[in-house]
Amino acid sequence: MKITMAHGSGGRATGELIASTFAKYFNNPILNKMEDSAVVEGSGRLAMTTDSFVVTPLIYPGGDIGRLAICGTVNDLLMSGAVPKYITCGYILEDGADVDLLTQIVKSMAETAAEAGVTIVAGDTKVIEGNGGIYINTAGVGFLPDGINISAANCADGDAIIVSGNLGDHHAAILSTRMEIENEIQSDNAPLVEIVRALKEAKVELHAMRDVTRGGLATVLHEFAVSSGSCMELWEEKLPVHPAVQGFCNLLGLDPLYMGNEGKMLTVVPKHDAETALQAIRGSKYGEHAAIIGEVTHTENGNVLVHTKVGGVRTVSELIGEGLPRIC
Amino acid sequence: MKITMAHGSGGRATGELIASTFAKYFNNPILNKMEDSAVVEGSGRLAMTTDSFVVTPLIYPGGDIGRLAICGTVNDLLMSGAVPKYITCGYILEDGADVDLLTQIVKSMAETAAEAGVTIVAGDTKVIEGNGGIYINTAGVGFLPDGINISAANCADGDAIIVSGNLGDHHAAILSTRMEIENEIQSDNAPLVEIVRALKEAKVELHAMRDVTRGGLATVLHEFAVSSGSCMELWEEKLPVHPAVQGFCNLLGLDPLYMGNEGKMLTVVPKHDAETALQAIRGSKYGEHAAIIGEVTHTENGNVLVHTKVGGVRTVSELIGEGLPRIC
């Protein structure tokens, strides 16, 4: 079955679509009330975020737009130190979208939400003219425990910079699929719930955290350098990159530092906590390839420097231009 | 300036776009922190909702997609009995979208948010191929006072059905613009904050509330009839319709009962509270044309009946098919 403009009417066709897809897989007592707003329990400080997902292709090695839409918002909440709790989903469907494909994506969202421990509490569907495209917005609410203060501005001299795993996997998987290159590269899209929980349980002093998405590690480090008025110094030989991704990058002249992930995060912690943090991440699901990749200094405030394998130092410039469009 | 794919990169072009549009007009201490999640104060029960907006044209008599995107989510939160507090915004921009137009829309969102008393706390921007279209998702969080229990299921025998004003204005304004018909019809898109506040202050026992959007009053009443297992009986001569909208409907053979509004709501209250509720709404901004239009009965449970001006009774069927696409 294909989506038609009638599915966007708000009348019977919309109701039938919702019943056979969203309500079926997102089935929970809060959503099932079908009121215009979901009522949930809350208390204390809240974290809120939103993200729209326009990735193409909709399904790719290692994931799909649905898994991505849950992980993206869950990970953004986690990075504030919050425990993600509730997710809303807004679908913009193009005329001609395949309902079986939509159903597969919705099922994937339900599974990823269960893995991440969040509940999908509200949704909306609109239909526009087009060629069968599917766009998804998710917004999320998490609860922030007292005493947590994580911010890019907290990066301090001597802090260790830790990345939770291999760089560029998602970007390389999307690009490989679009170019129809056969390889073993899989997207890393995953919720980082376990990693963050392990870091908190290890009582690590978390100065800053950020998930590595479009724009890559370079973009995150630039934001950290500017926000904290310090310098981010990396050691090139420490950067974890899967051999297949490195080979792909060499072939196409790409730099893993600018390539997007969807299941990796950067953590900045005091030097004395660095080894504890590294072990906490490595012991968690999706964290096995974590590495300490650099240090916060004042060598060149506001900039990102890399000590190259051949002994030089280069400045990592901010991403200018388009990178790879529609990666997330 | 036109939007290009580079504005979706997450790098410098994205940053410059955000600084010159969203950050400029949504300027507030929570958003300005520019972390991936906004941290806000919360307590007790929360209401959450989401809506995507794909209306065309983007600007129309009486409003624009930005005002609509704020009102839609604010009104959904209000209908649960919550006080709307925080809004997130996700933008999907098509290649070629006009930045001046986007800026005008963003400014309108800021003004409408101020009018509605909500704070925009998080945002996201993606760029896709296309023809300059702009799509906006908003999600919202509100705080729900204790003791509030508003639900379509609460509609009870003898309850009065009250609509807060003229039907079909938004739908007729959009359709007139698309058909290039010159008339005085203006969209009613507005936040219903004052009306709901007045109803609460008047201590009216609110059984059910719902804003009247796509699908029109008929769609809302159908949901109420089904949820509560009762019959919604209307008096045609009581239905408030602006003369210009009625004329437009007569010309095109449209029924105001199926036409969408974006600043009207339906309230169901016990008969003894009906007059108090009516006066509370009429005394509020955007409520001056409110009317008691019908009663909850058990004449034909699960159905909506209209007593026509000529003395007959007709069943109002559920909306089937597309209605008017891209009205919101």
pLDDT digits (tens, 9 = 90+) for A4-16: 888 877 777 877 8
Q: Do B124 and A52 touch (CB under 8 A)?
A: yes
Long-range contacts of A115-118 (CB under 8 A, 24+ apart): A115/A191, A115/A193, A116/A70, A116/A71, A116/A74, A116/A84, A116/A191, A116/A193, A117/A84, A117/A193, A118/A70, A118/A74, A118/A84, A118/A85, A118/A86, A118/A87
Residue A323 domain-assigned (yes or no): no
Residue B327 domain-assigned (yes or no): no
pLDDT at A45: 86
- A178 close to B (CB below 8 A): no
Residue finishing a domain among B116, B144, B172: B144
Amino acid at A104: Q
Quick check: A45 and A148 in contact, CB under 8 A?
A: no
Report the candidate in A251, A197, A230, A204 with the shortest Cα–Cα distance to residue A304: A230
SS3 B93: strand
Confidence of residue A286 (pLDDT cuts 50, 70, 90): very high
The tally of domains found in chain B comes to: 2
Identify whether residues B113 and B164 lie together within a single domain: no
Identify whether residues A197 and A242 lie together within a single domain: yes
Percentage of chain A modeled with pLDDT above 70: 98
Residue finishing a domain among A90, A116, A144: A144
B225: domain CATH number is 3.90.650.10
Identify whether residues B293 and B167 lie together within a single domain: yes
Confidence of residue A30 (pLDDT cuts 50, 70, 90): confident
pLDDT in tens, B94-111: 999 999 999 999 999 999
Identify whether residues B167 and B140 lie together within a single domain: no
Q: Do A42 and B41 touch (CB under 8 A)?
A: no
Report the alpha-carbon distance of residue B194 to residue B146 in Å, rounded: 20
A34: domain CATH number is 3.30.1330.10
pLDDT at A322: 66
Q: Which helix (H) or strand (E) covers residue B242, if one does?
A: none
Identify whether residues B166 and B127 lie together within a single domain: no
Question: What distance in Å separates residue A311's CA from the closest CA in chain B?
Answer: 28
pLDDT at B252: 92
Identify whether residues B294 and B157 lie together within a single domain: yes
Which parts of chain B have pLDDT scores under 70? 34-36, 321-322
| A34 pLDDT more than 80 | no
pLDDT at A217: 96
Question: What are the φ/ψ torsions at residue A256 (nearest 5 degrees)?
Answer: -55, -20
Residue B77 domain-assigned (yes or no): yes
What part of B 4-23 touches A (C-beta under 8 Å)? Answer: 4-6, 8-13
Q: Which domain holds residue B84?
A: 5-144
Residue B322 domain-assigned (yes or no): no
Identify whether residues A171 and A299 lie together within a single domain: yes
**A46-73: average pLDDT:** 96
Identify whether residues A167 and A140 lie together within a single domain: no
Q: Average the pLDDT over each of A28-32, A76-80, B127-131 and give the range with the smallest value.
A: A28-32
Identify whether residues B207 and B311 lie together within a single domain: yes
| Chain B residue with the nearest C-alpha to that of A32 | B227
Identify whether residues A205 and A131 lie together within a single domain: no
Taking contacts as CB-CB distances below 8 angstroms, the residues of chain A near B38 are 47-49
Taking each helix axis from N to C end, the angle separating A193-201 and A65-79, rounded to the nearest 10 degrees, works out to 20
Residue finishing a domain among B144, B169, B185: B144
Mean pLDDT of chain A: 93
pLDDT in tens, B266-288: 999 999 999 999 999 999 999 99
Confidence of residue A230 (pLDDT cuts 50, 70, 90): very high
Taking contacts as CB-CB distances below 8 angstroms, the residues of chain A near B53 are 126
What pairing do the DSSP bridges indicate for beta strands B231-235 and B291-297?
antiparallel
Residue B320 domain-assigned (yes or no): no
Tokens (6 digits) for A28: 């929970």
pLDDT in tens, A154-199: 999 999 999 999 999 999 999 999 999 999 999 999 999 999 999 9
Taking contacts as CB-CB distances below 8 angstroms, the residues of chain A near B39 are 45-48, 80, 82, 144
**A101-120: average pLDDT:** 95
